[in-house]
Structure 1
Amino acid sequence: MAIDFTPVTPVLGARVSGVSLATITPAQFDRLYGIWQQHHVLVLRGQQLTNAQFERFSAMLGELDPPPNQGAGRKSVPDHPNLYVVSNRKNGAGEPIGALGDGEAQWHTDMSYLQQPPFASMLWSIELPDSGGDTCFASMPAALRSMPAELVRRLERLSIKHDGTYDSGGFVRKGITPNDDPTQSVGTLHPVVIEQPESGERTLYLGRRRNAYIPGLPLQESDALLNTIWGYATDPQVTMRHQWRLGDVVLWNNFTTMHRRDGFPPEQFRTLHRSQIKGKYVPSAAAVKEAA
C-alpha cells in the first residue's frame, strides 16, 4: 500500500495512511519526512507497536533526548530510558508513574528555554480516558502570514526571553527558584521571527506565554505586544485539534508549532509514551523583509 495523506486543516496537520511504523523502510521514511516538513504535524492512526519499535522509528529522526527523570512524575518507560511517560496513573506507593497529571497544559513550545531546543516531539497513545485530553496544535508559519505587514516588520527586529521556570503543567521545575518578574528572570533569547532550519520557511518562534519578555521594552509594553502575538498564534484559523484514539502516533515540528492539552477526569487514566529529538539547530532570525 502506498503512503497517502489527507490534510487536517488548510494550514496544519496531515493524517497519514499506508505505513506501519513498526516496519517502516528508509524509502517510506523519506516520503513521511517530506509530508511532515510540509504539514508540520503528522497523525498516524492504528499503529501496533512495541516500545522498541516506537524508539526505533523515533531515532530515524535524530538523536533522542532522554527525559530528565527528576523526581516523582518524571519517569522513563521501563527498560527504555529514552522514552518518557505522560500519565496520571500512580504506582503502589502513590507516586505518579509519569508526568503532567490530568490538568490542562497551556500553549507552549517544548523546552524553548534551551539554546538548541528539541527539534521534534512524538506521542504514542497507550491508554485513554472516555473524554477530554485532546491535544491542540497551532501553526506558527500560518500565524505569521496572518499578521499585518507592519507588525511583522516590527517583530523581525525583536527577540523574546524564554523563561524555563515552569513546566507545561504550570509547576516549578526542580532546582529553579521562581521569579515572576519577567524582566529579571533567567531565560534564553530567541528571535521572534525565525527560519525553519531545514525548509527555510519563515515562522514565529514563541515558547510559552508565562514569564515571556521582550528585552528593551518596558514590561507593560512587552506584555501588550506579547498578548497581541499570542492572539494571532492561537487563533482558531491556525489551529487543529487532535482527539486521541488508541494506537495513535502524533509527530510535530517543534520549530513551527505550539501545542496544548485539555484536562480530563482525574478518576480516569491517560497514558502516552513520548519521544523527543534532541536539538540540532539554534533558532536563527529570518531575513528582514523591507517595506514595498
Structure 2
Amino acid sequence: MQVIEQKNAVHVQPSGAALGADVAGVDLSQDLSETEQEIIKQAWADNLVLRFRRQPKLEVEDLVRFSRYFGDLDKAPPASTQMGEDFAWQHPEITVISNVVANGKPIGDLGSSEAVWHSDMTYNPKPPKGSALYAIEIPPAGGNTQFANMYLAYETLPDRLKSRIADLRCVHDASRNSAGGLRKGYVDNTDPRETVGATHPMVRVHPVTGKKCLFLGRRRKAYIVGLELEDSEALLNELWQHACQDSFVWTQEWQLGDLVLWDNRCTMHRRDAFDPNTRRLLYRTQVTGEEVLAAAEA
C-alpha cells in the first residue's frame, strides 16, 4: 500500500500488516475540510482500520462530529450500561466501554475480561458499517485490541470452502455480548438451532469496494441454516480457525487519546483481558449500516 501524503499535511502510514494504518497531521477536535474527509475515507477503504494517535483534547461532541462524517449514528444499545441517566440522555450515540465501578454499579460495558473475536452487532438485520473507539483512560498493561482482515480470510480460503459457503446463510446470536455476558431479556439456550438473531450470508459483498469477504459475526451459538447441527459446527469451526490466523491480524496497543476507526463490514476484532484493579474507559460510536448483501444480491 502506498503512503498518501498531501500538502494539507494529512499523512497516512499503513501498518505493514494485513490491515491498519496511522493517520497523522489532523486534529479531530476541529472541523475537517472536504479534502481531509476524502483522504481519510479513501484510507479507511484501503486499510480497513485507521488509528489517530494521541488526540487528547477530544470532547464527546468532537467524537460524535467526526463519526458523522461516515454516516448517521446508531444509538447506544439499550442493554448498554451508561454513565448515569444524564449522560445517556445528553449523549445517546455514545456507548461507554469500561470496567470502572462507581457507587457499586458499572459505568460501562464489557468489564475487564477477554472479548472474543466478533463483528459488532451482527445480530441486527442492518449491523453498523463501522465503529470509532476513543481512549480516555487505559490500564498500564493489557486491554489491547486485535483486528482481522476478512477480505484476506475469504480470498485465501480453499476453493472447496468457497464453493461450499457461496450460498449459505448463518444465524448470528443476539443473546450474549463479546465478553460472554447474557443480554437483558434473553434466554441462554444450549442448542444453536434455536439461536435468536439476524440471518446473514456467510460471504458478503462490501458496498463500497465491491469485494467479497467472510462475514462470521461471532462463533458462540452461530448456526448455518439448513445444515445438520454436527455439519454446521464442523464447518463453522473450520472457517473460524482459518479466519483468525495471525497473518490476517494487526494489534492496536492503546495509548491515551488514541482514536481507532474500523470497518465493521470486512473486519473482526477481539480484546485482551487486563487487571480488573486497573481502570479502562473508552467511548464508542457506531455508524449506521446497511443490509448485508450476498454476491448474487449485490
TM-score normalized by the length of structure 1: 0.94
Residue of structure 2 equivalent to 1:13:
20
Correspondence 1:63 to 2:72: yes
Q: Which of 30, 41, 45 lines up with 1:33 in the alignment?
A: 41
Residue of structure 1 equivalent to 2:272:
262
- The amino acid that maps onto 2:70 is L
Shift of residue 204 of structure 1? Answer: 0.7
Q: Map 1:67-82; keep pairs closer than 5 Å.
A: 67-70=76-79, 73-75=81-83, 78=87, 79-82=90-93
Q: Map 1:115-264; keep pairs closer than 5 Å.
A: 115-264=125-274
Residue of structure 2 equivalent to 1:95:
105
- The amino acid that maps onto 1:238 is F
For structure 1, the residue ranges without an aligned partner over 5 or more in a row are none
Shift of residue 10 of structure 1? Answer: 3.8
For structure 2, the residue ranges without an aligned partner over 5 or more in a row are 1-7
Distance in 2, Cα, partners of 1:135 & 1:9: 17
Residue of structure 1 equivalent to 2:96:
85
- The amino acid that maps onto 1:248 is D
Distance in 2, Cα, partners of 1:186 & 1:119: 21
2:283 alignment partner, SS class: strand
Shift of residue 236 of structure 1? Answer: 0.3
Is the deviation greater in 47-56 or in 248-257?
47-56
Kept in 1, the 8 Å contact 2:110–2:179? The answer is yes
Residue of structure 1 equivalent to 2:114:
104
Residue of structure 1 equivalent to 2:11:
4
Is the deviation greater in 262-271 or in 145-154?
145-154
Distance in 2, Cα, partners of 1:157 & 1:80: 40
Distance in 2, Cα, partners of 1:49 & 1:75: 18
- The amino acid that maps onto 2:49 is V
Distance in 2, Cα, partners of 1:66 & 1:187: 19
**1:257-288: CA deviations, max 9, x gaps?**
00000010011000001111122x11111249
Shift of residue 29 of structure 1? Answer: 0.9
**1:102-146: CA deviations, max 9, x gaps?**
111000111101111111111000001110000000100011111
**1:177-214: CA deviations, max 9, x gaps?**
12120112222211111100121111111100000011
Is the deviation greater in 37-46 or in 10-19?
10-19
Distance in 1, Cα, partners of 2:35 & 2:67: 16
Shift of residue 9 of structure 1? Answer: 3.4
Residue of structure 1 equivalent to 2:284:
274
- The amino acid that maps onto 2:91 is H
1:183 alignment partner, SS class: helix
Kept in 1, the 8 Å contact 2:172–2:195? The answer is no
Kept in 2, the 8 Å contact 1:75–1:99? The answer is no
TM-score normalized by the length of structure 2: 0.92
Shift of residue 68 of structure 1? Answer: 2.6
Distance in 2, Cα, partners of 1:187 & 1:83: 23
Is the deviation greater in 149-158 or in 266-275?
149-158
Q: CA RMSD for the aligned pairs?
A: 1.6
Residue of structure 2 equivalent to 1:45:
53
1:21 alignment partner, SS class: coil
Residue of structure 2 equivalent to 1:54:
63
Distance in 2, Cα, partners of 1:49 & 1:216: 48
Identical-residue share of aligned pairs (%): 41
Kept in 1, the 8 Å contact 2:128–2:264? The answer is yes
Distance in 1, Cα, partners of 2:154 & 2:91: 38
How many residues are matched? 285
Distance in 2, Cα, partners of 1:262 & 1:63: 30
